[in-house]
Chain A
Amino acid sequence: MKISVTINNKPAEFDVMPDEYLADSLRRYGYLSIRKGCDTGSCGLCTVWLDDKPILSCSVLSMRAMGKQITTIEGVKEEAKECAQYLVGEGAEQCGFCSPGLIMTILAMKRELVNPTEQDIVHYLNGNLCRCTGYVGQLRAVKKYLGVE
């Protein structure tokens, strides 16, 4: 089935199966920053934005993206780099496999929350699992990035 989408601000046409999930379609179309970590909607690695909202692309049928705007980390490169500098500054990227999904969630949070507290940050990012860092360094990085005391 052919669907028209906007991906990273450019119109595109994807040919997808009705039972294909967005993460698989995106990887198939070369968006390799999308990682799958769990098969159960539990880990947050595959986070992209659908109409500017962070979603798990592993759990949204590709057909649902029809007519919508998809944003991957490739589409917010400069902002992602700025955010990544803070993560890397704390060593909190470690293996890096979950970082693109985390950064997409952080950037969504930046748009959605005004003056978040530490607690708000932890709550917003709780769907992004990480096995390397123990989260503490990531929190330090995000607080510095957002200027949270």
Chain B
Amino acid sequence: MRVVNSPVSKIDGMQIATGAPVYTDDLVNNALVIKLLRSPHAFARIKSIDIERAKKVDGVEYIFTYQDVPKKRFTVAGQSYPEPSPYDRLILDEYVRYVGDEVAIVVAETEKAALKAMKFIKVEYEVLEPVLDFETAMNHPIVVHPEDNLEVNFDIGMQKGKNIVAAYKFEVGDVEAELKKCDTVVEETYYSQAQAHAMMETYRAFSYMDHNGRLNVVSSTQVPFHVRRIMARALDIPKSTVRIIKPRIGGGFGGKQTAVMEFFPAFVTWATGKPAKLVYDRKETFSCTNSRHAMRIKVKIGSDKEGNIEVIDIEALSDTGAFGEHASTVFPLVAEKTLPLYNRVKASRFEGQAVYTNKMPGGALRGYGATQGAFAVETAINKLASVLKVDPITLREKNLIKVGEEHPILHGATTKPSALTSSTLDKCIARGKQLINWDAKYPREIIDDTKVRGLGMAVTMQGSGIANIDTASAEIKLNDDGFYTLLFGATDMGTGCDTILSQMAAEVLDISMDRIIVNSCDTDISPYDPGSYASSTTYVTGNAVIKAAEDIRQQIINKGAEFLGLAPKSTQFEGGIVKSSDGNKEISLNEIAQRLSSSEGQDQLIGKGTFGSETSPPPFIAGFAEVEVDKETGQVDLINYVAVIDCGTLINPKLARIQAEGGLVQGIGMALFEDVIYTDKGKMATNTFMNYKIPSRKDIGKIIVEFEPSYEPTGPFGAKSIGEIVINTPAPAIAHAIYNAVGVFVTSLPITPEKILEFGHPQGAYPKL
């Protein structure tokens, strides 16, 4: 391989690093400014809204309330049609369902005018008792969605009268009977928090009407084609009247897989004909958009004396908040990305529900349920190891899935049992063990009277795209001067997919990358792609790009042969040009392109490729943490974090590494710092970077990443995904390391010093180890 598997720099890197104005808010011209009046109550019905005085504020153009918007419910979840998320939203509703839910849209010439007007809007609320505790939401007398026009596309187990949005059950074997036969059973309940994406660029979009009377929306989104469909439904207009343009994105992490706010400017522009923009501030981004689903996960694991795991039983409860975005699809991943790892069990079961509450909605966040599942199941596996008094690595070596073996939900809930086609997880574990110096340091090292170091580990898997559902397309166009345009709808949010996809095209077309222009994404121009999420872009869109490149390469060979007066089979494709097999005659790409675009050739070459996979091959990771715990304060210092990853072939080792390091640190944040706190009235208190602490440079210790690439036969050049899996191991590995240091398994995230001290007394009365 020439370009693939080499550490090329991002094609947009220099421009974005030096401040080029290429993000959404840099591109706005003369748009009206939108501000949203938000509910101070967790649950209320709007009795009346008086906007008369507010409308008179200088510079205010329009104010819209729930009486002004279409009555058709929609979902803002960015998912392939038919979306599994319920249509439970309106642009503005008579009911407000969480603190921060939108009450009115204020449109003004300036932000200052809009903010001033907001103060003059008089809203009379009928304040209702909210459902704030997700553990008591089910069968609660208060119903979060009492309306009767809520729709679902298909059965997701919804019982909205009971606040149940979705339910899912999976069982193989007889769990109860097998549990009775086990020598050892561990059981624990785990809680993971509603982590925030905290991408640096907050949510933003602007819209305008074009010369054809069509609605154009420019948005920092991961899912332009889904946004087009969502806008069309929300505004009740044909999809053909909507165009979505995605410029550079300042980070997404799944947050921008949900169209949390595009419909506001879209509605304003459609209603008024005027350009409008909406930029969320950080507080709105924290408290009025979406987050990871908070979950309670009960795990029961049974084994024999030798540590053969016989049963895994998981029960998950997911808090989807006020709306059901991604509710039915996130929590099943708790099982889908954990159970297949331990495929030799005699019986396994997963049962779960997602429930409505009066809090900010959950959504997609890197890991998508797998992260929550990994914390619970891997911590329980570590607990089993400690009960059995076996090395947790030995326990895993005994039980983990190997290449060629099967599991019923290896590729997701919708697919048939199929075999694992690539894995070097065993090597990842072995290498990680060396790097963390496991044999010398496990389980603990006493530093002094108050400080102890401990080691911990965890393994996880993710998928690569959504099998049998998400399907991506790519096109490659030969331009008149002998360079290519690569078009796709996947969205580079900093991940580098514009670069790695053009690496793949360059590889197939045997040409340098500077001869390929990347275009993504404009729904009027780009071929369809669900967008970048579900660890799909390298694998799904990558395969589509390869197909498109192979398609146009064949077309070029055919045309080149024709111009050379040869049969295609008498030619070879080399260095991006067509030569006769004997090498005596050749024609440059440039010449082919120019002749084709003249009256002589009259043929625009376009290669196309579409790919959807029947499988979702899992990448694997082994994570190892070394922490130092201060027994008197509970403070945890992360000393070392080692991750060894099998993501198949590395299309770009440099970008894969940075993805891994970034994901690990997000996982570390989730493990130790990122606390989500609501007041007893249901207001999110952790809605600034002052109170919601993502890790800073000083918080992360030493991060060591290595790769043990397998070769995935269905992957592009043997690649699998990397984007999501990297966030999964820190929480369980760090929890385990803390346990090994001080004998305390903290079962709720984040693991704060205070929680550690709750178990151990500062004067050293931690459990005896």
Interface size on A, residues (CB 8 A): 48
**B697 neighbours in A (Cβ, 8 Å):** 122, 125-126, 128, 135, 139
Answer yes or no: B155 CB below 8 A from chain A CBs.
Answer: no
Answer yes or no: A50 CB below 8 A from chain B CBs.
Answer: no
- Asked if residues A93 and B201 are in contact (CB atoms below 8 Å), the reply is no
**A5 neighbours in B (Cβ, 8 Å):** none
- Asked if residues A99 and B665 are in contact (CB atoms below 8 Å), the reply is no
**A96 neighbours in B (Cβ, 8 Å):** 12-13, 15-17, 248, 250, 494
- Asked if residues B200 and A37 are in contact (CB atoms below 8 Å), the reply is yes
Identify A99's interface contact among B17, B198, B655, CB under 8 A: B17
Identify A84's interface contact among B17, B197, B251, CB under 8 A: B17
Closest to B496 in A: A91
Answer yes or no: B71 CB below 8 A from chain A CBs.
Answer: no
- Asked if residues A98 and B200 are in contact (CB atoms below 8 Å), the reply is yes
- Asked if residues B661 and A73 are in contact (CB atoms below 8 Å), the reply is no
- Asked if residues B201 and A129 are in contact (CB atoms below 8 Å), the reply is no
Closest to B22 in A: A96
- Asked if residues A132 and B689 are in contact (CB atoms below 8 Å), the reply is no
Identify B200's interface contact among A43, A126, A136, A137, CB under 8 A: A43
- Asked if residues A133 and B199 are in contact (CB atoms below 8 Å), the reply is no
Answer yes or no: A123 CB below 8 A from chain B CBs.
Answer: yes
B495 to chain A, nearest CB (A): 7
Given contacts A130-B200, A136-B700, contact A39 B283 (CB under 8 A): yes
Chain A interface main SS type: loop
How far is B17's CA from A113's CA once the two chains are assembled, in angstroms?
Answer: 23
- Annotate A21-39 by CB proximity to B: 1 below 8 A, 0 otherwise: 0000000000011010111
Closest to A89 in B: B9
Closest to A80 in B: B18
How far is B694's CA from A40's CA once the two chains are assembled, in angstroms?
Answer: 14
Answer yes or no: A10 CB below 8 A from chain B CBs.
Answer: no
A window 43-86: CB within 8 A of B: 43, 45, 72-74, 77, 80-81, 84-85
A21 to chain B, nearest CB (A): 12
How far is B248's CA from A98's CA once the two chains are assembled, in angstroms?
Answer: 13
Answer yes or no: B253 CB below 8 A from chain A CBs.
Answer: yes
- Asked if residues B663 and A134 are in contact (CB atoms below 8 Å), the reply is yes
- Asked if residues A131 and B251 are in contact (CB atoms below 8 Å), the reply is yes
Closest to A104 in B: B19
**Best-buried of A99, A123, A129, A136 by chain B (most CB within 10 Å):** A136
- Asked if residues B201 and A32 are in contact (CB atoms below 8 Å), the reply is no
**B283 neighbours in A (Cβ, 8 Å):** 39
How far is B111's CA from A39's CA once the two chains are assembled, in angstroms?
Answer: 15
- Asked if residues A37 and B282 are in contact (CB atoms below 8 Å), the reply is yes
B645 to chain A, nearest CB (A): 14
How far is B643's CA from A138's CA once the two chains are assembled, in angstroms?
Answer: 18
- Asked if residues B665 and A95 are in contact (CB atoms below 8 Å), the reply is no
- Asked if residues A94 and B18 are in contact (CB atoms below 8 Å), the reply is no
A130 to chain B, nearest CB (A): 7
Given contacts A45-B200, A126-B697, contact A134 B690 (CB under 8 A): no
Identify A133's interface contact among B661, B690, B694, CB under 8 A: B661
**A84 neighbours in B (Cβ, 8 Å):** 13-14, 17-18
How far is B660's CA from A94's CA once the two chains are assembled, in angstroms?
Answer: 12
Closest to B688 in A: A40
How far is B154's CA from A143's CA once the two chains are assembled, in angstroms?
Answer: 55
A140 to chain B, nearest CB (A): 10
- Asked if residues B19 and A95 are in contact (CB atoms below 8 Å), the reply is no
Identify B18's interface contact among A73, A92, A122, A134, CB under 8 A: A73
- Asked if residues A74 and B694 are in contact (CB atoms below 8 Å), the reply is no
Answer yes or no: B274 CB below 8 A from chain A CBs.
Answer: no
Closest to A102 in B: B17
- Asked if residues A131 and B696 are in contact (CB atoms below 8 Å), the reply is no
Given contacts A32-B26, A97-B23, contact A92 B658 (CB under 8 A): yes
Identify A132's interface contact among B12, B14, B494, B700, CB under 8 A: B494
**Best-buried of B14, B197, B495, B697 by chain A (most CB within 10 Å):** B697
**A129 neighbours in B (Cβ, 8 Å):** 200, 689, 694, 696
A74 to chain B, nearest CB (A): 7
- Annotate B251-286 by CB proximity to A: 1 below 8 A, 0 otherwise: 101000000000000000000000000000111000
B window 620-654: CB within 8 A of A: 654
Identify A95's interface contact among B282, B494, B657, CB under 8 A: B494
B window 160-218: CB within 8 A of A: 197-202
How far is B700's CA from A120's CA once the two chains are assembled, in angstroms?
Answer: 16
How far is B694's CA from A131's CA once the two chains are assembled, in angstroms?
Answer: 8
**A88 neighbours in B (Cβ, 8 Å):** 9-10, 13-14, 17
Given contacts A33-B21, A96-B248, A131-B253, contact A91 B10 (CB under 8 A): yes
- List 7 contacting pairs A-B, 8 Å CB cutoff, sorted by A: A32-B21, A96-B248, A103-B18, A129-B689, A131-B200, A132-B494, A134-B663
The 7 closest A-B pairs by CB, nearest first: A33-B19, A95-B494, A96-B16, A97-B250, A134-B665, A88-B13, A42-B689
Task: Using CB atoms and an 8 Å cutoff, list the residues of chain B in contact with chain A.
Answer: 7, 9-10, 12-21, 23, 26, 197-202, 248-251, 253, 281-283, 493-496, 654-655, 657-658, 661-666, 688-690, 694-698, 700, 703
